[in-house]
Homo-oligomer: A and B are copies of this chain.
Amino acid sequence: MVTVHDVAARSGVSIATVSRTLREPHRVSDDTRDRVLAAVDELGYRPNRAASSLRRGRTGVIALVVPDIENPYFASMTKGAQVMCRERGYELVVVDTSERAEIEDEEVRVLRSQIDGLILASSRLSDERLAEVAETTSCVLVNRSLESHAPGTPTVTIDEGAAAALAVAHLYGLGHRRIVYVGGPSRSWSQARRAKGIETAAHERDGLELIQLRDCVPTSDGGREVAEKVLALGPTAVIGYNDLVALGLLAQWTESDIRVPGHVSLIGFDDTFVTGLVTPPLTSVGADLRVVGDAAVELLIERIDGVSTSSHLIHRSIQPQLAVRSSTAPPAARR
């Protein structure tokens, strides 16, 4: 292992100067800088991060805690965070909690001394525990807010209300007047917002009937399970809690020779890459998840660096977009 001492010896300066050259190059004479950097290069020196962390009280590491890295939703978010971290010179540790609150809790504890900050995505922790964490660690919440317990905690949220409105407006514009929303887990933060947003948007429109289902398992199998029941409700269009649910509905219907969008239109939430995998490609509404990951990292770094709160919003709301594909069309003429 190459240390500051080796570099110092090689370039004929003290170890302090080596360190200074790397951290504060402007405080070193041109000549010295050149020699030190040359030595660094020749020896392939890289500062030992453990030593640096210990001394500076900073690790240069950010942790991103997600419920399930196999979920395309979090995979995309991770990608965004990763890219932004690299850009800003931080290392990213990704932790997968398998949707389990206890694991999340334990990981957060273990991580604490090893990181400069924490991004909790779709956290399963209670408001109380979350507030504790936010107090002891720089952290950013994604898809969650803590208005009551710790309003000062930065958050990145997707404007689910806007997303819902987009979906409803699209369907209404096509002429649909009877829509079923296949809702996700009642406890889910996103489900609450999506349901409410859809309800509100539906109310605003004349002659629009909305039927809500609840507690559909948020996977494609979950969608398959309720496919028949949904159809029995007689909608001309269906909104799925997320893309996976929508794909499940689509798959099951296709097997029963129900045509999409001929018989029913279908729209999903999140606009993940799976929308492009099927026929017809799924219309979906959602934010660019990489942007969400990006924003979370940026916000966290601001907090870590103690950038003044007022200059940038502490609560970032990401606007969703509607990606119109082939699973939505005007309703078939009623017989």
The 0/1 profile, CB within 8 Å of B marked 1, for residues 291-307 of chain A is: 00000000000000000
Given the known interface contacts A76-B70, A113-B49, A247-B277, the answer about A93 and B96 at a Cβ–Cβ threshold of 8 Å is no
Binds B, one of A29-37, A51-59, A170-178, A202-210: A51-59
User: Distance (Å) between the CB of A280 and the closest chain B CB?
Assistant: 8
Enumerate chain B residues within 8 angstroms of A91, measured Cβ to Cβ.
93, 110-111, 114
Question: Is there an interface contact between B279 and A277, defined as CB atoms closer than 8 Å?
Answer: no
Question: Is there an interface contact between B277 and A251, defined as CB atoms closer than 8 Å?
Answer: yes
Residue of B nearest to A45 (CB): B113
Question: Is there an interface contact between A113 and B48, defined as CB atoms closer than 8 Å?
Answer: yes
CB within 8 Å of B: which A59-100 residues: 59, 68-70, 72, 75-76, 78-79, 82-83, 86, 91-96, 98
Give the A interface residue count (CB, 8 A): 52
Question: Is there an interface contact between A96 and B113, defined as CB atoms closer than 8 Å?
Answer: no
Question: Is there an interface contact between B70 and A75, defined as CB atoms closer than 8 Å?
Answer: yes
Residue of B nearest to A71 (CB): B75
CB within 8 Å of B: which A105-143 residues: 109-114
The answer, yes or no, to whether A151 is at the interface (CB within 8 Å) is no
Given the known interface contacts A109-B46, A247-B277, the answer about A93 and B93 at a Cβ–Cβ threshold of 8 Å is yes
Residue of B nearest to A280 (CB): B255
Q: How far apart are the CA atoms of A193 and B284 in the complex, in Å?
A: 37
Known pairs A70-B72, A83-B96 / 18 extra A-B pairs, C-beta < 8 Å:
A46-B109, A47-B113, A49-B114, A68-B79, A69-B69, A69-B94, A72-B75, A82-B95, A82-B96, A86-B103, A92-B93, A92-B95, A93-B93, A220-B276, A251-B279, A251-B281, A255-B280, A278-B278
> Which A positions have Cβ atoms within 8 angstroms of B?
1, 46-51, 53-54, 59, 68-70, 72, 75-76, 78-79, 82-83, 86, 91-96, 98, 103, 109-114, 220-221, 244, 247-248, 250-251, 254-255, 273-274, 276-281
A sample of 24 cross-chain residue pairs with beta-carbon separation below 8 angstroms, ordered by A number, consists of: A46-B109, A46-B113, A47-B113, A50-B53, A68-B79, A69-B69, A70-B75, A70-B76, A70-B79, A72-B75, A75-B75, A78-B94, A79-B96, A82-B94, A91-B110, A91-B111, A92-B95, A247-B278, A251-B277, A254-B279, A274-B274, A274-B277, A277-B277, A277-B278
